Each structure stands twice: as structure tokens, then as C-alpha cells.
Amino acid sequence: MRFILLISSGIASVIAGCGNPSVIEISNTIDEARKNEIVEIPMAELSLPSGRSFMIRDASGAEMPYQITYDSLLIFPATVAPLATAVYYIEEGVPATVDTVAVGRVYPDRADDLVWENQWSGYRAYGPAYQANGGMVFGYDIHTKSVDYPAVDERYTRELTQSNWDRLHRLREEGRSEEADSLQRWISYHVDSGTGMDPYTVGPTLGAGASAFMLADSTLVYPRSYQSCEILDNGPLRFTVDMIFGPLAVGGDTSVIEHRLLTLDSGALLNRAVVRYDSLSDSRTLATGIVVHRQNPDGSMWDSDLNIIAYADSTDNPCAGNGVIYIGAFIPASGDATHPTVAFLPLPEMKADAIGHMALLSSYAPGSDYVYYWGAGWSKHDIPTPEYWMDLMQSFARRINSPLEVTVLTSSNK
């Protein structure tokens, strides 16, 4: 997809006059390079007059893509050397088109699947139509990717195009089995046709990083499928969706509603999740988990200091050359006295090849926002080893714990 940024934002662009451009200083406080990391600035802080289009340039004059989000934030990718400051300029002008990389949609004709992606991976959350049909899949699914452009929509389009199936049936009827088998592999998004695939098994688990309350007997209260969702940002640089789950029965509370705000940025290793529960009377233990499958029972990794868990999933058919899916979750550092606990939660019986969950356990207070990150990568797309995935996770955690510092100036007070 390609959009003019002014259109994709859905908000009229604004800019100060050329004689007094805005200057943005971005400082990196850690000894680690930040490359194309999304920064955000409230539009109100820019105090720009309305009605003029604008561009963002770095110190070399290169134009930066940007987006104005649903909550009136200007976001763009910044690159800053270790322990250094970079300068960006806002000036009047018509911005270039930009490739959309963080994008998603709901598929009503595919059981209300909600699917979204960025350069690293694609994801799926199951919807109300799936649950109404008796589906018992709860957590996040993964669409692996080996390309940096949006690819998941094309996979769904192939599967949902009736003419593809009509042709397949004709080939079967004509006895052209080899051609039919090839076409069926191309139609199925469970087979890699060159951009990736869905080789991941969720089943009745938390899948690739969902969260759920854990009762005293270690039983998880699964959130099941979302009941409603609203896409708030849909590219080019940020995808945001607001989902509602429930009502859930959590102990004596029988009408608990979960609000889940997910954000995935261009280039971001992980999704950001902000979770809040209504109608909960007492603090509860919340588990953020990654399902562990029998195909690789020893694939778990963790860093207790950085609140990271990770897992190397061998996929639903390791012998088919599906590669390895690397999954991770992380809870940012905070001033709270309670530190998350890393734990393995075995399932009482194996379900859909699942034997348990690698989990981060923390205490949730009623009405508060629980913020964490989760996501995945693939061995066939720049993740060669489990150690490399953990290095990426640890670097991501350090950068989230020490965000880039943004200062807005103007040429007159610079």
C-alpha cells in the first residue's frame, strides 16, 4: 500500500512558516545506537498554525516519513548515535509518499479474524464469529514473514477468492493432481509461498503472549475471542487497535471486562499492549504467557533482571522445513515494589500439542493499566539463533526502559 501521509493521518497537516521552522532535538541516554526508532510528539506541543502541509528532515536534509495518530501525536523514525543528540527540522512543503508497513484489518468473511503486521511479523486475534462457531482458540496467532512489506492480506485474499477454489475443483475433476496440489499449496496460508506462512498452533492457550488472570490453583482464566474491536491507526508507521473481551468470571467477580489497546510500530520488534480490567473487586495475579509445545519442551529462555521471557517454537510441523518461530514478552521497568516473577505453568493435560506456558506473573490492581510488550520473529527472516533473538529482546527492553528524550525548539530560540 502507498498513501500520501497527509491523507493517511486523517488530520489536516500543519506547519510553522519557512522563516521559523520547528527544531526537534532527540537525545539518546544509553550507550547503544538507536536506528529508525519511532518517536512521538504531541501536536499541541508544536503550536503550529493550521492549513499548511509540512515535511520533516534530518540534519543531512533527508526527508523522514511521518504519521499523525488518532490521539494527535506526530510520530516519525529517528536515528541517534550512542549517548548523542540528533536534530530534525519541520519545514513547509508537500511530503513524499511513503510505503505503509504497519497495517491491519478485520476479515468478516474469515470468522472475524483481526490480522496486523509490520516488517518483523504478522499476528492474528480471533473474533466473535469464530467463538460463536464453537472455536476454542484464545491467544495470539502468528503469521511469519520473510519480507519487509505487507504480505498477510495477500494470503487471506488468495484463500478467500472463490475463483481459486473453482479452478482447484476443476483440476481435481480433470485428474490433474499435480497441478491441483500446487494450486492448493499456493492458496493455503499454512504453506510458505515466498513471503512466509502460518505454521503456529495456538489452541486453548495464551498463544504468542496474551495475558490472563491466574487463580489460586494456577488455573488460567482465558479471555477467549474479542467481542468488539476498533482500528484507530492503520499505517503507514503505526497500527493501533482497541479491543474488548468478556464478560469474564474471575473468582467471585462474574462480569469482568477486559480492555486491550495494542500498538505496533514500523520496525518495532514487539507489540505494545495496554490492558485494563473493569468490575474487578480485588487485586489478582496476572500471567503473561507464551505457549510451550511438545515439539520443543526445552526452548524457553528468560532474563529475570529485564523481565523478559522467550521461546523457540519448532512450529506445528518441524519436519516440513517451516523454520523456527521466536517469541518474546517483556514487562518494562517501573517504580512498583512488586517485581514480576518468571515461571513455567504446566498444563494438566496436553492440548493442541501444548504442554504449558512460559509466563511472567505480576500483581494487577483493579482499574490500573497493565503495560507490556510481546511479539515474534522467524528464523527465515533475520533471526538465525535463539541467542540472537534474546540479544534483540534485551536490546529492545533496554531501549524501552530508556526512551529517547525529545525537545521541541524553534529557530528563534535555538
Mean pLDDT by 10 residues, the chain (414 residues): 32 41 92 97 81 90 97 97 97 92 96 96 96 89 96 94 94 93 92 94 96 94 94 98 95 95 98 97 96 96 97 92 96 76 94 94 95 98 96 98 93 42
The pLDDT value given to residue 21: 65
**Could you count the other beta carbons within 10 Å of the beta carbon of residue 47?**
11
Positive or negative: CA dihedral 47, 49, 54, 57: negative
For residue 127, what are the CA distances in angstroms to 138, 142, 278, 350?
A: 10, 15, 20, 24
Question: Distance between CA 88 and CA 218 in Å, rounded?
Answer: 50
Closest Cα to residue 192, out of 328, 354, 378? Answer: 378
Q: Quote the pLDDT of residue 412.
A: 40
Beta partners for residue 208, in sequence order? 290
Provide the 10 A C-beta neighbour count for residue 291.
Answer: 31
The reported pLDDT for the residue numbered 20 is 60
10-34 burial code (b ≥16 CB/10 A, e <16): eeebbbbeeeebbbbebebebeeeb
> Residue 223's pLDDT is what?
87
Question: What distance lies between CA 407 and its chain's CA centroid?
Answer: 27
For 88, residues 6+ apart whose C-beta sits below 8 A from its C-beta are 23, 24, 26, 56, 57, 58, 59, 64, 76, 78
Phi/psi for 320 (5° steps) reads -90, 5
Task: Give dist(CA 91, CA 55) in Å, integer.
Answer: 5
Q: How far apart are the first and last CA of the chain?
A: 38
From the CA atom positions of the chain, what is the Rg in Å? Answer: 23
